[in-house]
Amino acid sequence: MSKEVLLVTSWNEFEIKSLSQLAEELETRDYTVHLFSPAAEHIDRNKLSGNVYQQLESQPSELPTPEQIESECGIPSLPHLYFTDKQYFALSESEVVLRSRSMAAGLKQTFAETDLDFVFQGRGGEIQRLLAHYLAQQHDVASVWGEFSPFENRTAFSTQLDGKWDSYTTIPDYEIPQGEREDIDEYINSFTSDKKVYNHSMKNNDARKIIKKVTDTVKSLSTAVAGNTPNNPYRYGIRKLRANVYGRINNRILPSIKKSKKLCEKNKFVLLPLQYPIESRLTVFSPEFFDQSFLIDYLSRILPSNIKLFVKQHPNHPGKQSPAWIQRVSRRNTVELLHPSFNTHEVIEQAEGVVVTNNTVGFEAIFYNVPLVVLGNAFYGDVPAATRVSDLSSLPEAMARALGETVSDSVVRSSIYSLREATYPGMPIHEAAARNDSDQLSIIVDSLLSFVEDHT
């Protein structure tokens, strides 16, 4: 008996192709696969037994109102859901509301015409993803998110909007089998030795990377102008150019990498790596910590008097904060800004503690036996090596407690092992699709179906 699955894509053409390959593999398992995509023209409909759905381009009077969407989808606030789209694509309020209404109409039609077993999509904050999650819940359909996994050839899933892994459970150090204990110790040593990071920051004076940065900016502007994404071309273009200018200026007024290293060697400090401010990890999944400027001010006030707060911008977005913002923050005596391209591992090694909101620096910090305070929701937030803080009022006590504790090797080992055990076999879908690796796609589908059976 055939089962029905809905895959939800972004505007990204490569992601659409990746999920199309996943759909083909699912259909070999007797699943009827439907796709919902805001860029359905990139889908080869002949390869699917199911249907391809997209937003409805109807007259505004024929689309559901925001109030109807909130009521029918069980959404507390539609503006909260479309906030990320509005910021990321530089849309006006009227543009993003119309886009949300069109997406909601298309998804309502999708759920009305199908009998779904589950919905699957990659993690992201685009409005069609979030609406699909809520509509799945309203129809008693499992909603499964593909999550980032830091482990090679391992993948992760979640049914939760906040991104926590359903499969996570803490495994004490004494329960780890000896052979696997040695594997984990080797992995920890290799990770810290290689100083592995999960971004591709630009190094100073690297001409090729600067050229690539400019080329990527021109390409994204061309895409916006061509209408392949919902970007407002003028506002999106201005923002891109401004960010590039800000980034170049910021590189001149911030401490160099060499000076940043000396600052870390000469001071006792707590590290706060900034999150990309319009990423869904912050806007949707940890909105209470969205105001990072306030967080800097608050943290600098509650730390012990002999400990400074070191702030590091996101290395992929050094121009997101303006030069005026940089100078304003730098005037605080208890705060130091580091160069965004300074290797985060070198900072963590010297830190008294690390405070993060959802980013991968928190995972990296676990390896260094450094007290870790996690704000909001992160896949590693419940490991023994971390202290999770859900509201700012409890942050002073949590910081004092964390800074007064020693993170032992056994706690680090338990944390890393527990996270790895919560993942499933398979490389990221986009990597398998890029390689056209049918064996890996088969492994990924095996893992997805195993997760669905275990946790939905």
Tens-of-pLDDT digits for all 456 residues of the chain?
569 999 999 998 899 999 999 999 999 999 999 999 999 988 988 888 999 999 998 888 999 999 999 999 999 899 999 999 998 888 999 999 999 999 999 999 999 999 999 999 998 889 999 999 999 999 999 999 999 999 999 999 999 988 889 999 999 999 999 999 999 999 999 999 998 776 543 333 444 444 444 445 444 544 444 445 677 777 878 888 888 888 888 888 999 999 999 999 999 999 999 988 788 878 877 888 888 999 999 999 999 999 999 999 988 776 678 888 888 988 888 999 999 999 999 999 999 999 998 889 999 999 999 999 999 889 999 999 999 998 889 999 999 999 999 999 999 999 999 999 999 999 999 999 999 999 999 999 999 999 999 998
> What 3-state class would DSSP assign to 335?
strand
Half-sphere exposure of 324 (CA within 13 A, CB side): 0
Half-sphere exposure of 317 (CA within 13 A, CB side): 15
What pLDDT sits at residue 321? Answer: 83
Judge whether 226 and 309 are in contact, CB under 8 Å: no
What pLDDT sits at residue 219? Answer: 47
437 residue type, one letter:
D
CA distances from 80 to 97, 282, 284, 290, 306 (A): 11, 12, 7, 12, 39
**Tokens representing residue 446 in the block:** 């095996």
Say how far apart CA 210 and CA 203 lie, in whole Å.
9
Cα angle value 449/143/230 (rounded, 5°): 120
246 residue type, one letter:
Y
Say how far apart CA 409 and CA 313 lie, in whole Å.
29
> What 3-state class would DSSP assign to 386?
strand
What pLDDT sits at residue 201? Answer: 39
- 376 CB-near residues (< 8 Å, 6+ apart): 282, 285, 286, 288, 289, 357, 358, 390
> What 3-state class would DSSP assign to 154?
strand
What pLDDT sits at residue 199? Answer: 53
What pLDDT sits at residue 210? Answer: 46
**Tokens representing residue 282 in the block:** 């912050």
Q: Which letter does DSSP use for residue 410 in this model?
A: H
61 residue type, one letter:
S
Say how far apart CA 105 and CA 64 lie, in whole Å.
7
What pLDDT sits at residue 251? Answer: 85
Cα angle value 229/232/235 (rounded, 5°): 135
Which own/partner contact pairs does 320-326 have at CB distance under 8 Å and 24+ positions apart?
320/243, 320/246, 320/276, 320/277, 321/246, 321/250, 321/274, 322/246, 323/246, 323/249, 323/250, 323/253, 325/293, 326/250, 326/253, 326/254
Closest CA to 68 of 54, 60, 78: 78
CA distances from 347 to 129, 263, 421, 454 (A): 35, 10, 28, 39
What pLDDT sits at residue 282? Answer: 82
Architecture of domain 3-167+424-454: 3-Layer(aba) Sandwich (3.40)
What pLDDT sits at residue 229? Answer: 67
Chain mean position to CA 102: 25
Say how far apart CA 161 and CA 164 lie, in whole Å.
8
How much is the pTM? Answer: 0.89
Residue span(s) of the chain under CATH 3.40.50.2000 come to 178-204+256-421
In the numeric block, the tokens 């803080």 are attached to 389
- CATH number for domain 178-204+256-421, candidates 3.40.720.10, 3.10.300.10, 3.40.50.2000, 3.20.10.10: 3.40.50.2000
Say how far apart CA 230 and CA 39 lie, in whole Å.
10
**Cα-Cα-Cα-Cα dihedral sign, residues 266, 271, 272, 274:** positive
How many helices and strands in the chain, by DSSP H and E? 18, 13
What pLDDT sits at residue 221? Answer: 46
**Cα-Cα-Cα-Cα dihedral sign, residues 423, 429, 431, 437:** positive
Say how far apart CA 365 and CA 445 lie, in whole Å.
31
What pLDDT sits at residue 200? Answer: 40
